């Protein structure tokens, strides 16, 4: 069956503040006709009110359909606090110091994948060929980058400076030098040490990238919001430090790296390190302010009692396509592209009970994604912890679906996601708590919505109840204010109504105490 494909959407609120105020101002008895008019007005408001995603992102990367979320309009999280740092300041930080190799518009890349034969670094859930295919996909995601050649080379010493043994390294060096037109080499490992990077560049005569730097290239192309740009600028600090170390190591060999600057008592290297440290502190300070704002927005969503469903999975697994299918937003244009979503975006949809839920679209995961990179986006991923339910989207048609699942679960473990969320997580068929879905063909969506509703009811302590209310009392207006009213059946002769509501255990307790004396 075709796999779960992408997710995104809009955000309809059940009731605006004015609607809530109107509900709060109805303590007087209501006649049946007035009640029906009110109900019709409320239903019109429900269907008409929409919010755009809190945060949107865009991209300049190559894509089959490059009309993504970045072209949406509406309110964003940043709209609520535009003056924490000027756009020009963020842009200056973003463009001020870019790691070597990123400024170039084009790269003809030679990919080297070290195939570790044994030891702790050997991959057991995938193959060298599949890992090479993913590396090719990463390069092809970048505009004006293309793969000119690639090689899988065995190694027994991945921890060594040159990764490969003497014979294989010499063979690799000759092959790279003989390949015409190469401008960069991508060594498909998580992170190269500064020493290894310098050794390779001296041996091969071109710029050398690892997974960390290539993924950051992709992130940089996708960054549109302040937070994304700041997070990427923070993640680039280790690359800048590596470059600095290499540059001054070369200067030291020439006798110039240890010169002091004026009478400061600092060497050139120490001055540059200090400037990098100051840059890092400024970025962290700005991200901390954004983190506080994000915490406030989470509190506001919780206060409105909208259940929150975090949709997560491997990059390009189909999260945005699924959210689009669940919410019915035709304006969403998912992109067949790695890391198309960098910012957390929030979208609303309705379950069979007409309960509104907020779907949180998260950044995609990747195998061998360095911890430093994850740390830079930790505030963004923090939203996952505060969800009521997790949906793990998997592309089960992908040959690496098992390995991708393992990598997602590994990241979630490192993020210390609560057991209650891990144990209730919904994912795709062939595993417990999994459902077969095709978002593109709209198959299995009703079953998924029912499962979401059941899980959310359990996790949030909400109940669907039919309550008989006396229309001469403020019971109905209280329910509009404190619960989600789904339907009202009026008995004009009795002056009563049967109200179908979604209500939390705590709110129902207050209702009973106020109106039934129990």
Cα separation, 164 vs 166, whole angstroms:
7
**Is it the case that residue 413 has pLDDT exceeding 50?**
yes
What are the distances in angstroms from CA 242 to CA 107, 112, 183, 204? 21, 21, 20, 18
Cα separation, 3 vs 277, whole angstroms:
45
Pairing of strands 345-350, 356-361: antiparallel
Cα separation, 160 vs 19, whole angstroms:
66
Compute the average pLDDT of residues 491-513. Answer: 90
Residue 254: the pLDDT is: 57
Residue 474: the pLDDT is: 93
Q: pLDDT by residue (tens digit) across 438-484?
A: 877 778 899 899 999 999 988 888 888 999 999 999 999 999 888 88
Number of H helices, E strands in the chain: 18, 13
Lowest mean pLDDT among 27-36, 243-252, 264-273, 471-480: 27-36
Give the closest residue to 192 by CA, choosing from 226, 262, 243: 243
**Structural contact between residues 358 and 306, judged by C-beta atoms closer than 8 angstroms:** yes
Q: Cβ-count burial of 98 within 10 angstroms (0-12 exposed, 13-18 middle, 19+ buried)?
A: middle
Is residue 498 classed as helix, strand or coil in its secondary structure?
strand
When computed from its CA atoms, the radius of gyration of the chain, rounded to whole angstroms, is 27
Q: How many Cα atoms are found within 13 Å in the side-chain-facing hemisphere of 174?
A: 6
Residue 52: the pLDDT is: 27
Split at pLDDT 50, 70, 90, the class of 303 is low
Residue 60: the pLDDT is: 31
**Structural contact between residues 368 and 189, judged by C-beta atoms closer than 8 angstroms:** yes
Q: pLDDT by residue (tens digit) across 182-241?
A: 999 999 998 898 889 989 999 999 999 999 889 888 888 777 778 778 888 888 888 788
Give the closest residue to 39 by CA, choosing from 415, 490, 491: 490
Residue 259: the pLDDT is: 60
Q: Which residues contact 132 (CB under 8 A, 6 or more apart)?
A: 111, 113, 150, 152, 188
**Is it the case that residue 5 has pLDDT exceeding 50?**
no
Higher pLDDT, 359 or 370: 359
* pTM beyond 0.75, yes or no: no
Q: What is the mean pLDDT of the chain?
A: 75
Query: Residue 15 phi/psi, 5° resolution?
Result: -155, 130
What are the distances in angstroms from CA 30 to CA 40, 280, 493, 502? 15, 61, 13, 22
Residue 56: the pLDDT is: 24
DSSP 62-128: --SS---GGG--S--GGGGGGGGS-HHHHHHHHHHSPPTTSS-S-EEEEEEEEEE-SSTT--SSS-H
């Amino acid at each position: 069956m075709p796999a779960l494909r992408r997710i995104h959407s809009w955000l309809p609120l059940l009731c605006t503040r004015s609607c809530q105020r109107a509900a709060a101002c109805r303590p007087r008895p209501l006649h049946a006709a007035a009640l029906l008019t009110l109900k019709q007005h409320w239903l019109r408001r429900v269907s008409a009110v929409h919010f755009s995603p809190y945060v949107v992102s865009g991209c300049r990367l190559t894509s089959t359909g490059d009309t993504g979320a970045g072209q949406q309009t509406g309110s964003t999280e940043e709209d609520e606090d535009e003056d924490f740092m000027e756009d020009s300041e963020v842009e200056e930080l973003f463009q001020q110091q870019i790691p070597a190799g990123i400024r170039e518009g084009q790269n003809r890349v030679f990919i080297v994948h070290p195939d570790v034969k044994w030891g702790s670094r050997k991959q057991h859930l995938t193959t060298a060929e599949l890992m090479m295919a993913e590396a090719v996909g990463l390069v092809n995601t970048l505009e004006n980058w293309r793969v000119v050649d690639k090689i899988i080379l065995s190694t027994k010493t991945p921890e060594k400076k040159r990764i490969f043994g003497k014979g294989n390294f010499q063979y690799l060096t000759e092959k790279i030098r003989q390949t015409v037109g190469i401008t960069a080499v991508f060594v498909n490992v998580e992170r190269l040490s500064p020493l290894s990077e310098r050794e390779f560049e001296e041996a091969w005569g071109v710029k050398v990238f690892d997974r960390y730097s290539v993924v950051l290239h992709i992130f940089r192309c996708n960054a549109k919001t302040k937070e994304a740009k700041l997070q990427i600028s923070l993640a680039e600090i280790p690359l800048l430090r590596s470059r600095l170390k290499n540059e001054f190591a070369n200067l030291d060999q020439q006798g110039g790296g240890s010169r002091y600057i004026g009478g400061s008592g600092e060497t050139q290297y120490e001055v540059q390190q200090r400037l990098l440290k100051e840059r890092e502190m400024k970025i962290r300070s700005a991200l901390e302010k954004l983190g506080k704002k994000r915490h406030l927005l989470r509190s506001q969503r919780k206060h409105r009692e909208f259940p929150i469903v975090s949709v997560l999975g491997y990059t390009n697994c189909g999260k945005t396509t699924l959210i689009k299918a669940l919410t019915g937003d035709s304006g969403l244009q998912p992109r067949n592209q790695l890391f198309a979503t960098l910012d957390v975006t929030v979208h609303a949809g309705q379950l069979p009970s007409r309960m509104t839920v907020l779907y949180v679209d998260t950044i995609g995961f990747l195998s061998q994604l360095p911890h430093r990179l994850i740390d830079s986006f930790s505030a963004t991923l923090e939203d996952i912890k505060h969800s009521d339910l997790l949906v793990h989207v998997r592309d089960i048609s992908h040959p690496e679906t098992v390995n991708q699942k393992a990598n997602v679960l590994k990241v979630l473990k490192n993020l210390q996601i609560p057991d209650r969320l891990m144990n209730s997580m919904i994912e795709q068929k062939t595993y417990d708590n999994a459902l077969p879905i095709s978002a593109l063909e709209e198959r299995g969506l009703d079953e998924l919505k029912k499962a979401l509703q059941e899980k959310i009811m359990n996790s949030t302590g909400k109940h669907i109840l039919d309550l008989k209310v006396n229309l001469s009392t403020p019971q109905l207006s209280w329910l509009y204010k404190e619960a989600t009213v789904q339907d009202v059946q009026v008995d004009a002769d009795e002056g009563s109504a049967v109200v179908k509501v979604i209500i939390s255990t705590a709110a129902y307790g207050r209702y009973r105490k106020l109106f039934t004396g129990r």
